Amino acid sequence: MIGAFIKKELKRMSKERGMFFFLIILPILFIVMFSTILGNQNYTFQVHYIDQDHTALSKDFIHHLSPSKTFKVVKESDEKEVLAQIKKGKGTNLLIIDKGFESSIKSGQSPTLHFYYDKNQSSAQEVAPIKTLVENIINGYNQAKIQTFVQSHSKNVTEAQSVLSPSIDLKSKAVSVKEVNAITSIVPGYTVMFVFFMLMSMSRTFIKERDSGMLARLYATSITRFQYTFGMWIPCVIVVLIQIAVLLGFGYFAYHLNLGNIPSIIVLSFILTLAVTTLGLVISFYTKSEQMAIGITQIITMGGAALGGLWVPLDIMPKSIQTIAHFLPQYWAQTGYVNIMTRGATLADILPTLYYLIGFSIVCFILALVGFKNFFRGATN
């Protein structure tokens, strides 16, 4: 009996082109789009400047403004025009080197530089690196000035070197098991996000069977509540597992995504599938209409993606949002996938993720079994 239900549902699902689009085509389009935008993007910051001194030292300072290809200096001539552009939001910064820059340095005085920038939050990410670069260059000049003074006033070379050496020597070294890039977040992020679209397909199927009278006719036979639920649920599990395999496989073949420990990926994918599909049963059995089910599904899918760190890294979000994220299955699934792919995590390392998703699945399945009684009462003869 259960086998007949599974075959019927798989056959029906294979004919639903809309479900295929939402579960496979649409997430692939999102992955391609955001991977193209963020995957191999080289950020370039333009430093706009006006040199009113035109001396060797001012030119040397400007030269230090482009230490790499990341920073590009742009010479300007009209101060008022550039400031007007910044006010309109069409420019982000302007550095002015006043006349007398070189003479002030040679005479031991401190020349003044004017740095204008757009205070708007949308420009902050572009302005901050430029401002930091200018401050670092100024600190370099200050350090050179101190070094010259100490060396000229100290007869003991060892003493001079001791004074000039930093009090603390910081040695930074990035520690990462695997290569990390935008792809390692984009592919698992959108995979986790779009598996929750299965909730919409599940709720529509169950509610249509209830409202059309099909459920009432089936229940008039010898079929049990467990057989019906299990027979309708297993095909959804199979489809979600195929969806995850296709999306992660696309990331692997198209973008050389490092999948990490394959057994861990398989186990996590299976547990995530159980969590998603049991939640789909709960929504199906407790909502009274298809419109209500679709609305709840959209809130869970989009809201969970936003709050669970699938769109924006949680590190830059408010503390309250980070706390809420720990209650969402999307957060745990994304964390598990990223740890496997970027940190070489194994099953032992992702046990907290597995425990949460298993517990979530058990709670949802129990709620679904309890809610099926009310769901059946709404069936139409």
Give the chain's radius of gyration (CA, Å).
30
Q: What percent of the chain has pLDDT over 70?
A: 86
Grade residue 314 by pLDDT with cuts at 50, 70 and 90.
Answer: confident
- Split at pLDDT 50, 70, 90, the class of 242 is very high
Its pTM stands at: 0.71
Q: How many angstroms separate the Cα of 290 from the Cα of each of 15, 165, 204, 282, 287?
A: 20, 71, 6, 13, 8
Q: For 276-286, what is each residue's pLDDT tens digit?
A: 999 999 999 89
Q: Which pLDDT belongs to residue 178? A: 56
235 has a pLDDT exceeding 80: yes
Q: Is pLDDT above 60 for 179? A: no
DSSP 102-126: HHHHHTT----EEEEE--SGGGHHH
Q: Mind listing the domains of the chain with CATH numbers?
A: 2-39+182-377 (no CATH), 45-164 (3.40.1710.10)
Q: Which of 22-26, 242-246, 335-339 has the lowest mean pLDDT?
A: 22-26
Say yes or no to pLDDT of 170 above 90.
no
Q: With a cut of 70, say whether residue 381 has pLDDT above it.
A: no
Per residue in 70-128, pLDDT (tens digit) is: 788 999 999 999 998 888 878 889 999 999 998 988 887 888 899 998 877 555 667 88
pLDDT tier, 166 (very low <50, low <70, confident <90, very high otherwise)? low
Structure confidence at residue 224 as a pLDDT band (50, 70, 90)? confident
pLDDT score, position 124 = 64
Beta strand pairing call for 113-117 and 71-75: unpaired
Spatial strand order of the sheet with 45-51 comes to 71-75, 45-51, 93-97, 113-117
Provide the 3-class DSSP secondary structure of residue 328: coil
